[in-house]
Amino acid sequence: MRGEGGGLGEVLRPLGLVTGWQVVASTCFYALFAGTALLRTELHLSRFLVGVVVTAGTLGYTVALFPVGAAVDGVGEKAVMVGGLVALAVGVAGVGLAAGFPSLLVAAAFLGAAYATAMPATNRAIVTSVPGSLRGRAMGIKQVGVTGGSGVAAVLVVSAAPSVGAWNLGFLVAGGVALAVAAAFAVGYRGAPGGEWRLPDLDGLRQNRPYVALAGGGFFLGAALFTTVGYATLYLTDAVGVSVAVAGLGFAAMQVSGSLGRVAAGWLADRRAASEARANATVLLGQAALGVLLLAALALPDLPRPVALALVVGVGATILGFTGLYYACMTALVPADEVGAATAGGQTALNAGALLAPPAFGWLADSMSYRAGWLLLAAGAAVGVGFVALVARRTTP
């Protein structure tokens, strides 16, 4: 095992608070993705326009990342997290109250910008409160908040709320919960003080070759992640033929498996006798490679429903589950006072791939088939695996 000493018990309180914050924040943001089938029906959207909406959310997320990263490094994570959760509450309510495609685009972009507070702030919280020997697991546990929140969004928005006759009730409930949790977090979380307000050191990041390679892998793997999340429920209803409620449960199961994948991968990395960055990159390489195979398997013809659902769950454990090690590796490659900026760059790489892939996937599904879309994602993710292999080679054994 690597790095500094310390037991998990010492960090349970801050880790629990940050993970809980992440669950609620991700519930708000991924309500947009989980609810695509409902939004398509209620607002009369094509599959292509669904992709445009997903891209609008991702674009807002991407544009806000570097300013948020600078704020996190400058004032600390607590203020950013409290304000971000309030903004997420407003954004998710706006999605639920959208009257048409234009207002939905605006709400989605605002929601994405609000979610940009998540990764820089929570990653800094882990780095400042968890010893190095436990960071792989801690980062994986924190990242469970992403898939856990996504699963909550699926059950709340897709399965539970429509059953009481109000298709948009889940969006509004998520917003109300976010406001309550923002107030509780402001009281209960201490956080670490900020440092110096400054522009991100992009030149330094560019000269860090393992970091650049990891961000390159993030571009392609992020495209697969966000597209899978955005189209999983539509694929299950349109191509596999299950009901919207069952598709919502399948989406939730995919998120649960993503949570398990993040924790298990972090545990494996922490147990490797190598440098923190090398251990994380090596396990990440195997996890992402398995995800490529599962994405390609979704393109097989005439999949039985149980097989298709099982493959979607497997994609959750790999393609959705890779981000815990992605960020653990990334934060190990830079100094602690640059975590916010480095995370912003890494998340920007993830999001940049997601700006292009969802509309392309939707266009292929409309004009050809879902099979073509899954093959596109598998091919792109395979390129991402190649970049991760470079990271594993360039880090210190």
Residue labelled with tokens 């507070």 = 117
Give the residue among 117, 137, 115 at the shortest CA–CA distance from 126: 137
Residue 4 lies in a domain: no
Quick check: 201 pLDDT over 80?
A: no
| pLDDT at position 2 | 45
Among 170, 130, 188, smallest CA distance to 28 is for 170
Asked whether residue 41 is assigned to any structural domain, the reply reads: yes
Name the one residue in this structure whose structure tokens are 């400054």: 198
Positive or negative CA dihedral for 187, 192, 197, 199?
A: negative
> How confident is residue 9, by pLDDT bands cut at 50, 70 and 90?
low
* Parent domain of 269: 9-189+198-394
On the CB side of 49, CA atoms within 13 Å amount to 13
Q: Please determine, for residue 335, whether its predicted confidence score (pLDDT) is greater than 80.
A: no
Q: How confident is the model at residue 3 (pLDDT cuts 50, 70, 90)?
A: very low
The residue among 32 and 129 whose pLDDT is bigger is 32
3-state secondary structure of 175: helix
DSSP E strand stretches across the chain: none
Domain assignment present for 311? yes
DSSP string, 312-348: HHHHIIIIITTHHHHHHHHHHTS-GGGHHHHHHHHHH
CATH number of the domain where residue 364 is located? 1.20.1250.20
53-68 tens-digit pLDDT = 888 898 898 888 888 8
pLDDT at position 4: 46
Residue at 316 is within a domain: yes
47-75 helix and 12-34 helix, angle to the nearest 10 degrees:
150
Residue 236: Cβ-neighbour burial (10 angstroms; 0-12, 13-18, 19+)? buried
The pair of structure tokens assigned to 337 is 């006072």
Does the pTM surpass 0.85? The reply is no
88 three-class SS: helix
| CA separation for the pair 44, 263 (Å, rounded) | 39
Q: Are 15 and 129 in contact (CB under 8 A)?
A: yes
Q: Token pair of 147, please?
A: 């898939």
In a domain, 2, yes or no: no
250 band by pLDDT with thresholds 50, 70 and 90 = confident
What would the pLDDT profile of 67-86 be if each residue is shown by its tens digit? 888 888 777 788 899 999 99
Query: How confident is the model over 4-17, as a mean pLDDT?
Result: 65
Of residues 111 and 237, more confidence is placed in: 111
The reply to whether 44 falls in a domain is yes
Q: Assess if residue 133 is contained within a domain.
A: yes
Dump pLDDT digits (tens) for 268-298.
887 777 777 788 888 999 999 999 999 999 9
Angstrom distance (rounded) from CA 293 to CA 300: 11
Structure tokens at 145: 């908040």
The whole-angstrom separation of Cα 340 and Cα 198 is 11
Mean pLDDT, residues 351-372 taken together: 84
As a whole number, the mean pLDDT across the chain is 83
Could you tell me which residues come within 8 angstroms of residue 269 by beta carbon, excluding any fewer than 6 positions away?
Answer: 136, 279, 280, 282, 283, 284, 325, 328
What is the mean predicted confidence (pLDDT) over 101-130? 88
Q: What is the C-alpha to C-alpha distance for residues 324 and 269, in angstroms, rounded to an integer?
A: 11
For residue 5, pLDDT over 60 is answered with: no
Predicted local confidence at residue 158, as pLDDT? 76
Per the structure, how many domains does the chain have?
A: 1
Which residues are within 8 A (CB) of 70 and not within 5 positions of it... i.e. 6 or more apart?
197, 198, 199, 200, 340, 341, 344
Q: Is the pLDDT of residue 198 over 80?
A: no
